[in-house]
Chain A
Amino acid sequence: MGWFGILSEKPWIPEARGTSAEWGRTAYTPAVKISLRFMLGIISVFFLLFFVTFISRSQYDDFLALAGEPWQPFTNSMRLWINSGVLVLASVAMQGAVYALRRNHHFRLLVLLATGAVLAILFIILQISVWQFLAGMGYSVAGNPANSYFYILTGLHVLHLVGGLVALGRVVNSLREEGDLQNRHAAIEACAVYWHYLLGLWFVLFFMLTRTPETYALIAAACGLG
């Protein structure tokens, strides 16, 4: 039954005698899955609001985009592509872990989860090196709003990844204990989905932060912020 159907129910009509109560439909979805959907929604709103402010701020005269001219740091964005590759591999490893879980390959599951975690940590280290690279070129946090946004947004992305690593650590730790198998499966699948989400988010950030002033003007005009 869809939402319209649910909201059209007439609960004041009494149940017929002798009928048994039904489970609500959503009772079959694991809690982790439901909360993950909400969490991804919250994170999306969080970053979307940043993007709106970013596009709006990009139309001010003092905004100096990080790409477009040869001397600007991300006109050649090879560093960021390397980082992206590492995050893609992390995501692939996590998806592999989900397949291993479904086929009950316990050892392979652990190896792939560890690989996903290590690659995520490697991505974080590489992101820190990008910050050092930027700072070394004189692009400080307060130097220009474009720099400020780059540090803030990539920093927040890294923080979300750190949160994911903590959650993954707790899930792996719980594998040693006895407990409900179905919920544990759901937790590992949720970790993989979270990794994919952060990969997608990273590509959106990558795109947003390395455009030329002309592209920003176009996006701003399309959003009515120009």
Chain B
Amino acid sequence: MTHIAIADQTAHLHHPKTFIGKYIWSQDHKVIAIQYSVTAIFVGLIALLLSVLMRLQLGFPGEFNFISPDAYLQFVTMHGMIMVIYLLTALLLGGFGNYLIPLMVGTRDMVFPYLNMLSYWFYLASVIVLLSSFFVTGGPTGAGWTLYPPQSILAGTPGAGSGIVLMLLSLTIFIIAFTMGGLNYVTTIFQARTRGMTLMRMPLTIWGILTATILGLLAFPALLVSAIMMLFDALLGTSFFMPAIVSLGEPLNHEGGSPILFQHLFWFFGHPEVYIVALPAFGMVSDVLSVHARKNIFGYRMMVWAIVIIGGLSFIVWAHHMYVSGMNPYFGFFFATTTLIIAVPTAIKVYNWLLTLWRGNIHLTVPMLFAIGFIFTFTHGGLSGLFLGNVVVDLPLSDTFFVVAHFHMVMGVSPIMVLFAALYHWFPLVSGKQLHTGLGKVHFWGTFLGTYAIYLPMHYLGFLGVPRRYYALGDTSFIPESAHVLNEDITIAAIIVALFQLVFVVNVIWTLRSGPRSVRNPWGVASLEWHTPDVPPAHGNWGDALPTVHRWAYDYSVPGAKQDFIPQHVAEENVEYEAGGRRVGEGE
């Protein structure tokens, strides 16, 4: 039986008439994307504030009475969880995934718009449940974002009562939301591509989002399993993860559970999660670099293969987070090997980005600055990962600030650099207005240099052996006075970086209120999303007829062509060449 791809069916499109139908209970992927993005950025700002509070305590211990040891641990935990799950995952996949997939593959909407709408509302519910834990007795959980039992549910840990339960519930709701959204993304990419859009003609952004979504769909169940089992341990007294234990002098009813089992489950999710965040960022940065260097992406096929291989490998490296858990040393050898192997496809990507820039016509626009900044931060974060991937090097560095510096560079700062590159790059498409370039550059330099001022010294603190998750260092013999001074400096840098983010917020508000209208396709992009009849794209995206794709998304500076880019939907016979110019390799 043959089926018409849903991309071509206009009948199923839900045409809302009222304000609420259009902007609140919307089934339009673009509105849902904006809802996701605004919510994610809102919680992200809360997490940013929490990090400033943490830094105040670390830089100036004892100066701020309202930051108690419990509160400090709660800030650490909520900052980590919000940033990784509720900001990065939600913004990259729920925000950019929703906005870009239908436009880049040339369809009118996601294949299941109603499910897509539900996905956002479940996400919002998960955020509300999470934030509500700030207002319950005992406050949010302070167990660290890894939520390791038994301490996460034992009395004495902040938020061990309601806080941890709300966290686990919120994660459960988030996973349901992600699954609904994720099913939409993969099905839309596989089923609803427009005519001519073969898989290998898709922009790398879509490859990144597709692979990350598949990773998420297979990895989030591990978090769900551990959340369900821990909820049972916390609420019903089962002993999945809880061993026989004496708490505050009283023996508890638990017996025989395995806390290490939780760690395995958590990291079976947790490591792919790194790539759930990284792969969409890899894809988007590839597109931004290619567009603003006016050059086709170097090694497109290798980039696709690298994305897929990294995705596959990410499922067999999880225990490198557990070298100090007391597991069998042969395990450590295996996981160190797989971890180092994953550096190969990752390095291929970095080389290809550099070779894309090589002899390109580089335009130092704000998105390009952030994209180049990403190459720096990601390479630095990746190199420190090579240290930590080795068991013998990891053991002394485990649970020190070296680890904090490493993962902030590689999966904090780097994806954030790409997110800003993407926000500046696609803002004219989403809003019809272009963000102010001067403010954008101020924002970039403040963020780029500022984050280095935060995290480079942190590596040094780690070498000294300064432990993470400590409320205060006190008079510790092996920590010199200079480390305390460094902590003060890092805190000042963190506050400055946080303030620079307000420049971005001001830029967005000012541009939306009184910024000039952007020209159509201001960056000269070849991929489909910039070639809708209306900008910003109207409901249904493509007017009467869907575009037909004739080429890949990277025809920039084609030799002999009059224009410096050829859009994906332009057929070869419609391309204007200079007199006598003819494309190399043309199939005639």
Taking Cβ atoms with an 8 Å cutoff, the residues of A that contact B are 6-24, 26-31, 34-35, 38-39, 41-42, 45-46, 49-50, 53, 56-57, 60-63, 141-142, 145, 148, 152, 156, 179-180, 182-183, 185-186
Per the 8 Å Cβ criterion, residues 5-22 of B in contact with A are 5-7, 9, 11-12
Check if A141 sits within 8 Å of B238, measured CB to CB: yes
Other-chain residue from A15, A179, A182 in contact with B587 (beta carbon distance below 8 A): A15
**Nearest CB in chain A: distance from B334 CB, A:** 12
- Interface hub of B1, B188, B549 (most chain A Cβ within 10 A): B1
Per the 8 Å Cβ criterion, residues 181-223 of B in contact with A are 183-184, 186-188, 190-193, 195-201, 217-218, 221-222
**Nearest CB in chain B: distance from A186 CB, A:** 8
Chain B interface size, under 10 / 10 to 19 / 20 to 34 / 35 or more: 35 or more
A145 nearest in chain B by CB position: B239
Check if A53 sits within 8 Å of B196, measured CB to CB: no
Interfacial chain A residues near B201, Cβ < 8 Å: 11
User: Interface with A: B297-305, B466-474, B504-512, which one?
Assistant: B297-305
Other-chain residue from A15, A24, A29 in contact with B197 (beta carbon distance below 8 A): A24
Contact A11 B258, CB 8 Å, known A31-B187, A35-B112, A49-B225? no
Check if B218 sits within 8 Å of A45, measured CB to CB: yes
Q: How far is the CA of A42 from the CA of B195 in the complex (A)?
A: 29
Check if B301 sits within 8 Å of A7, measured CB to CB: yes
B220 nearest in chain A by CB position: A42
As a 0/1 sequence over residues 231 to 264 of chain B, the CB contacts with chain A under 8 angstroms (1 = contact) are 0100011111000000000000101111001000
Check if B232 sits within 8 Å of A148, measured CB to CB: yes
Q: How far is the CA of A145 from the CA of B258 in the complex (A)?
A: 11
Check if B229 sits within 8 Å of A152, measured CB to CB: yes
Check if A182 sits within 8 Å of B1, measured CB to CB: yes
Please provide the 8 A-B residue pairs with the shortest distance between their CB atoms, ordered closest to farther: A21-B196, A16-B587, A11-B552, A62-B256, A46-B221, A142-B237, A9-B200, A31-B111
Q: How far is the CA of A183 from the CA of B552 in the complex (A)?
A: 30
Per the 8 Å Cβ criterion, residues 41-93 of B in contact with A are none
Other-chain residue from A22, A31, A46 in contact with B225 (beta carbon distance below 8 A): A46
Check if B305 sits within 8 Å of A31, measured CB to CB: no
Check if A38 sits within 8 Å of B183, measured CB to CB: yes
Pairs across A and B, CB under 8 Å, 24 listed: A7-B301, A12-B300, A12-B552, A17-B573, A17-B588, A24-B198, A26-B191, A28-B2, A29-B3, A31-B112, A34-B186, A46-B224, A49-B265, A56-B258, A57-B258, A62-B256, A141-B236, A142-B236, A145-B256, A148-B232, A156-B228, A179-B11, A182-B3, A183-B6
- Interface hub of B188, B268, B583, B587 (most chain A Cβ within 10 A): B587
B377 interfacial by beta-carbon distance below 8 Å:
no
B202 nearest in chain A by CB position: A11
B329 interfacial by beta-carbon distance below 8 Å:
no
B519 interfacial by beta-carbon distance below 8 Å:
no
Interfacial chain B residues near A11, Cβ < 8 Å: 198, 200-201, 300, 551-552
**Nearest CB in chain A: distance from B9 CB, A:** 7
**Interchain Cβ contacts within 8 Å, total number:** 174
A21 nearest in chain B by CB position: B196
**Nearest CB in chain A: distance from B186 CB, A:** 6
B572 interfacial by beta-carbon distance below 8 Å:
yes
As a 0/1 sequence over residues 289 to 307 of chain B, the CB contacts with chain A under 8 angstroms (1 = contact) are 0000000100011001100
Check if B551 sits within 8 Å of A14, measured CB to CB: yes
**Nearest CB in chain B: distance from A162 CB, A:** 14
Interfacial chain B residues near A28, Cβ < 8 Å: 2-3, 5
Check if A30 sits within 8 Å of B3, measured CB to CB: yes
Check if B200 sits within 8 Å of A7, measured CB to CB: yes
Check if A142 sits within 8 Å of B587, measured CB to CB: no
**Nearest CB in chain A: distance from B580 CB, A:** 17
Check if B550 sits within 8 Å of A21, measured CB to CB: yes
Interfacial chain A residues near B218, Cβ < 8 Å: 41-42, 45
Interfacial chain A residues near B573, Cβ < 8 Å: 17-18
As a 0/1 sequence over residues 273 to 287 of chain B, the CB contacts with chain A under 8 angstroms (1 = contact) are 000000000000000
Q: How far is the CA of A123 from the CA of B261 in the complex (A)?
A: 32
Check if B200 sits within 8 Å of A6, measured CB to CB: yes
A27 nearest in chain B by CB position: B5
B554 interfacial by beta-carbon distance below 8 Å:
yes
**Nearest CB in chain A: distance from B576 CB, A:** 14
Other-chain residue from A35, A42, A53 in contact with B261 (beta carbon distance below 8 A): A53
Q: How far is the CA of A183 from the CA of B240 in the complex (A)?
A: 43
**Nearest CB in chain A: distance from B121 CB, A:** 16
Q: How far is the CA of A49 from the CA of B175 in the complex (A)?
A: 16
B571 interfacial by beta-carbon distance below 8 Å:
yes
Interfacial chain B residues near A38, Cβ < 8 Å: 183, 186-187, 217
B480 interfacial by beta-carbon distance below 8 Å:
no
Other-chain residue from B179, B191, B236 in contact with A34 (beta carbon distance below 8 A): B191
**Nearest CB in chain A: distance from B431 CB, A:** 30
**Nearest CB in chain A: distance from B317 CB, A:** 17
Interfacial chain B residues near A156, Cβ < 8 Å: 228
Interfacial chain B residues near A61, Cβ < 8 Å: 256
**Nearest CB in chain A: distance from B379 CB, A:** 26
Check if A63 sits within 8 Å of B256, measured CB to CB: yes
B544 interfacial by beta-carbon distance below 8 Å:
no
